[in-house]
Amino acid sequence: MKAESLTIPDVLLLTPCLHGDDRGLFFEAWNARAFEGAGIQAKWVQDNVSESAQGVLRGLHCQVQQVQGKLVRCVSGAVFDVAVDARAHSATFGRWCGVRLDAETHAAMWIPAGFAHGYYVLSERATVHYKVTDYYAPEHERCLRWDDPDVGIAWPLIPGTQPILAARDARGESLIQAREWFR
């Protein structure tokens, strides 16, 4: 597995070694020793799967208690996956990084606890699988605005369209409000 830091050093792009032949391919999606070698010492408690249509934007979600580290992989289709540092005392607070995750490369993104996370579906349909380090706690969930100008995410939106949002995602909070999330 190749682990590379993104523009925020705590967020990693993890590219597995693919072993393929005319029958198909094999790769290790999780290997505790390899991930610990990359600095990820996670205890997984829940796996989630989300399927979405093209143009759907999910997020940017973060739990302020029972904070979750996430290992995100697109298992069918393609998404633009984003992490925003929501840790108020971090040197990279408010910065974002994003990568294309797709079923061709099988790469995953490690998003540490304290980051807001979301993705935009690039393909006709996409299925995202993610492992989390703590249980879902809706009472502690917050949502950062996907289009907050203070964050300035360069989403690769389909030209001439607006993203398809859930009602709660459309009501996301600003980065200024997010500064208070972990106080």
Catalytic residues: 61, 130
Closest residue by Cα to residue 106 from 32, 54, 28: 28
Helix spans in 14-59 (H): 32-37
* Strand boundaries in 22-140, DSSP class E: 24-26, 46-53, 57-63, 70-76, 78-85, 96-102, 108-111, 115-121, 125-132
Tell me the residue type at 3: A
Count the Cβ atoms, other than its own, within 10 Å of residue 34.
15
